[in-house]
Structure 1
Amino acid sequence: MGMMAVNAGSSIEVYIYDFPEFPSFKEIENYFSKFPEIKTTIYCLNDSDHLKEFLEMVNLLVTQGVPVLPPGFCTPCEMAKGLNWKEIYVRYSTPLILVFQGGRLMSIVILRCDASTLDKALAHSDNAAKVFLHYHYEDAVLLKEEARIKIEELFKNRMKSQTNFFHILPLVIAAASVDAINPCEFFVLIVFLSLVTMRLGRGAVLKFGVAFSMAIFAAYFMMGLGLWKLIGYVHEAKIFVVILGLSIGLRSILNFIFGFFGLSIGLRETIGGFLNKKFKRIPKFLSEKAADRLRRFSSNPTSAFLIGVATSTFLLPCTSGPYLIALSLIADLETQIQGLTLLTIYNSIIITPFLAITAGMYMLKIKTSGLKKWSSAKQRWLNLAGGLLMIVLSIYLITYAI
C-alpha cells in the first residue's frame, strides 16, 4: 500500500471532517483503523464548532484557487433550489481530509474516500502539498504555498494542544483509583465469595474470584470502547461528563461533612427523610431474589464470569463518573494504540481490589466479615478522597479538554 512510502520516523496526523451518518464516514473509519500508529482525529460536522472550522477551511481553499466545485457548476441554479453557500460547500466538499507529516501539511482529500486515493495522500512526501479532488480524479491539484501556510497556522495551536500519553497517564490512574474504591461491585464480590466458601470450601475461592474479576475487566473494557467512540463523536458529551463529575465530587464531600451530624445527601435519603422512613439501597424483594440467584450460581466458575458481566452492566451508573472522565481525556487526544493502552491500564486498576480480596480470602484466610467491617469503617474517608479527585479531574477537563 502507499503507506509503505511514508517515513516511519515522521509523525503523521490526519484530520477528518465528515457527518457520522454518511457512508463515507464508515469507509474512512475502517481505512484508518488499519493504521493505529497514525494519529487520526475525526470532527463530526453535526457539531456547530466543527462545521464552522470546516467552512473556514473550504472558503480558504476556494479563495486560493482550489476548484472545490465541479466544472460548469451553476451557482444561480443551485441558489434557485434554495441552497446557500454553506449548504453548497457541505454538499461538494464532504468529506474533507487533511494529512500532516511532522507538523507540515502534505495533502488534502476532498469528496473522496476510496483506499487508492487515501494511499496516495498518505504516501505523498513532496515539498508542495497536493489536493485530491473528486472532479480531478486522475491528477491531484498543487496547493499554493500561501494557502498551505494559512492552513498550517489554523492547525498549529490545535497540534500543540494535543496531550501526549504520559501527560494523560497519571490522570487516568487517578480516575481509575476513584473507580476502584467504589463499594458497588466490592460488596457483590464479597457476598458471592462468601457463598462459594460455604458451598464449595475455601479452595474454590481463587477460581471464582479470578473469573468474576476477568468478567468485570472484559465488560468494562467493551463498554469503554463504545463510550470512547461516542464521546469522540459528540463534543457536547464532555460538558455532561464535567457536570456529572462535579456533582458526584461535591456530593461525596458534602456527605463526608454532614456525616458528622448523622446526615446524608442523596435521593434515597431525601425521600426517606421526607416520609420519615428508612429505605434500603436495594428493595427487600430484590435483595432476596439477588441472594437466591447468587446461591444458585455459586457452583462453577462460568457462572462467576456471568455474574461479573451482569454486575458491571447493571451497576455501571454507580461507577460511571470516573470512567467517563477518563474516556473524555482519551477521546480526542490519543492514537488508537495509546487509547487502548490507557483503557487497559484503567480497567486493570479497577479489578486490582477484587483480585486482592480473592487472594486474601484464599491465601491468608481473611474472613468476609472482617472485610465488610474494614470497608464500613474506611468508606467515608475513601469517598472523600474520591470526591476531591473527581472535582480536580473535572476542573482539568474544563480547562484543557473542552
Structure 2
Amino acid sequence: MRGLRLLPIILLILTSLSLVHPQPTIKFYIYGSHYCGSCVKTLSIIIDIYGEESVVFYEATNSTNYSIFTKICDILSIERRWPLTGVFINGKLIAIVIADRPREFWEKFKEYDSSENILRVYRTVYPMLLNITDVEKIITVHKLLTQQEEINGSIYLYQKKSVQEVVYVIVLASLADSVNPCTFSVFTALLLISIATMGKRRMLSIGLAFISAIYIAYTLIGLGLMSVIGYIPVVKYVVGIMAIVAAIYVLSGIARGKSTTTEPKILKSYISSRIRKAVSPLMSFIIGMIVSVTLLPCTAGPYLVAMVVLTSLKNQMLKLPLLLLYNAIFIFPLILIVAGIYTLAIKVKSVKIWRSKRIILLEATEALLLLFLGLYVLFFS
C-alpha cells in the first residue's frame, strides 16, 4: 500500500526532472538523390538512430531543390556534393555535413552542445571543418533548408523500388538484350571459324571461354555504370530518352523493311579480325573481353536502362545478385547455341540462317521492350 502511495510522488519527481533536462529535438534536412549510394546510406543510418520523423529528404534532381542546394553551397563557399545534410537541434541550425559519415559521427549529435552561435560545416576537402559565425549567412541557410519542407520534403526517396518490381524490369531488359542480332552475329562467326579450323570439341571450350568473358566483362561494366549513375542522377533521363529514340529508330527501320541493329562496318571488320585470332580458350577469353566493350554501342540500350533501375532498388545488397541475373539471361541464348551445336549436331550455318530469317522479329521484339523500358524509366522509375 505504501508503495502505491509513493508512486504519484515518484512520477512527479521524474516529470520534473524531464522538464529540467528535456531531450533535445534533433532534425535532419538532407539534399541528395535516390540514385546516390551515399545519400541512401546516410538516410538509412539517420532514420535508424533518430527515426523517420526526424528526417526531411529533398530530391535534388528536382530543379527547385537543386537551385536551393547550389545556393546553400555558394553562400557557405563549399563543394557541391551530395548528400548535404543540415542538422537542427531544438530548431537551431548547428551543422552542415557534406557526404556520408560513419554511424558514430551521427550519434554524437545526441550529446551536441548547441548553445554556441556557431555553424560547423564538415567538408570532404581542406579545410575539413569550417566554423561559420556570420549570423546573416546562418539565418539565410536556415531559411533555405526549411522553406521547402512542406512542398518538396519527404523521408522517402520517391518510393524506392521493391525487389519484385525491379526483377520484372531486369528480366524484360535482359530478354531484350539477349535477342540482339549483333550478339548472335558475332558469336556465330566465332563458332564457324573455330569449327572449321579446330573441330567441334575445340569449339566447345572456345565458345564457353568467350561466353565467360562476356559475362565477367558485362558484370564489371555494370558495376561501373551503377556507380556513375549514382553520382550523376540526370543520367536517368538521358538513358530513358535514348532508349525511346533507339526503339523508334529500330521500329521505323522495320517499317521500311530495313535492319537497323547490325553493327557498323568499321566495328564489324574490327570484331571479325579479332575473332579470327581466337585459336585457344585463353585467346577466346581475352577477345571476348575486348568484344564486350566494342559491342556496347550495339547492345547498350537495355543494359543502361537496367542499371538505372537497379540504382533505385530499396535493398542495396541485392544490386549485385540482380546484375548477375541480368547477365545470366543475356548469355543464356549463347549457351543454348553452343549446347545445340555440340550435343544435337545443329550446324552453325543453320543458326545463321535461322537468325537471318527472323532478324526483323528479333529487332521488333527488342525495340518494343526497349520502348516500354524507356517510358518506365522516364515516368515510373
Same fold per TM (> 0.5)? yes
For structure 1, the 5+ residue unaligned runs are 1-13, 20-24, 56-83, 100-107, 138-146, 269-279
CA-to-partner distance for each residue in 1:85-104, whole Å, 9 max, x for gaps? 662246399763489xxxxx
Find the partner of 2:338 among 349, 352, 358. 358
Equivalent of residue 118 in structure 1, options 93, 100, 103:
103
Corresponding position of 1:250: 248
Does the alignment pair 1:369 with 2:349? yes
Q: Which residue of structure 1 aligns with residue 289 of structure 2?
A: 309
Matched-pair contact (CA < 8 Å) for 2:214–2:289: yes
**Which has the larger Rg?**
2
Deviation, 1:221, is 1.2
- DSSP-derived class of the 1:163 partner: coil
Specify the alignment match of 1:178 in structure 2: 176
Shift of 1:344: 1.1
C-alpha distance in 2 between matches for 1:375 and 1:93: 50
How many residues get paired? 308
Q: Please state how far the C-alpha of 1:394 moved relative to its aligned partner.
A: 1.2
Distance 1:304 1:110, change over 3 A: same
Task: Give 1:122 deviation, angstroms.
Answer: 6.2
Q: What residue is the counterpart of 2:221 in the other structure? A: 223
Query: Does 1:398 pair with 2:378?
Result: yes
Q: 2:17: which partner in 1?
A: none
Name the SS for the 2:291 alignment partner.
helix
The residue aligned with 1:96 is 84
Per-residue CA deviation, residues 356-383 of structure 1 (Å, 9 max, x unaligned), is: 1111111112111100011111111121
**Partners of 1:123 and 1:152 in 2: CA distance:** 30
Tell me the secondary structure at the aligned position of residue 233 of structure 2.
coil
- Residue deviations 1:252-288 (CA, integer Å, cap 9, x gap): 22222221xxxx37599xxxxxxxxxxx95259x73x
CA contact (8 A) 1:96 1:111 kept: yes
Counterpart secondary structure, 2:346: coil
**TM norm structure 1:** 0.63
The residue that corresponds to 1:271 in the other structure is none
Alignment partners' CA distance in 1, 2:309 and 2:327? 15
**Conserved 8 A contact 2:178-2:332:** yes
* Cross-structure match for 1:328: 308
- Calculate the aligned-residue CA RMSD, in Å: 4.4
Structure 2 partner of 1:282: 265
Question: What is the distance in 1 between the residues matched to 2:80 and 2:264?
Answer: 54
Encode CA deviations 1:2-37: one digit per residue, 9 max, x unaligned.
Answer: xxxxxxxxxxxx996479xxxxx99x69x98xx9xx
Cα distance in structure 2, aligned partners of 1:358 and 1:329: 31
Distance 2:192 2:163 in 1: 40
CA-to-aligned-CA distance 1:53-88 (integer Å, 9 cap, x gap) = 647xxxxxxxxxxxxxxxxxxxxxxxxxxxx86622
Whether the 8 Å CA contact 2:58–2:152 is kept in 1: the answer is: no
**Cα gap change, 1:109 to 1:219, in 2 (>3 Å):** farther
Q: Distance in 2 between matches of 1:388 and 1:266?
A: 14
Aligned residue runs from structure 1 range 16-165, under 5 A:
17=31, 48=63, 50-52=65-67, 54=69, 87-89=74-76, 91=78, 96-97=84-85, 110-111=96-97, 118-121=103-106, 134=120, 154-156=153-155, 158-159=156-157, 161-165=159-163
How far the C-alpha of 1:308 sits from its partner, in A, is 0.9
Kept in 2, the 8 Å contact 1:215–1:305? The answer is: yes
**Letter of the aligned partner of 1:321 in structure 2?**
G
Shift of 1:233: 1.8
The 8 Å contact of residues 216 and 309 in structure 1, kept in 2 or not, is answered as: yes
SS in 1 for 2:332: helix
Q: Percent identity?
A: 28
**Cα distance per residue 1:291-332 (max 9 Å; x no partner):** 45433322x101111111111111100011111111111223
Equivalent residue of 2:265, what SS? coil
Give the secondary-structure state (helix, strand or coil) at the position aligned to 2:154.
helix
Once the two structures are overlaid, the 10-residue window that deviates more, 382-391 or 170-179, is 382-391
Structure 2, unmatched stretches of 5+, are: 1-27, 49-56, 88-93, 123-128, 130-145
Poorly superposed stretches of 4+, deviation over 6 Å:
42-47, 128-131
Partners of 1:352 and 1:130 in 2: how far apart? 60
Equivalent pair of 2:278/2:284 in contact (CA under 8 Å):
yes
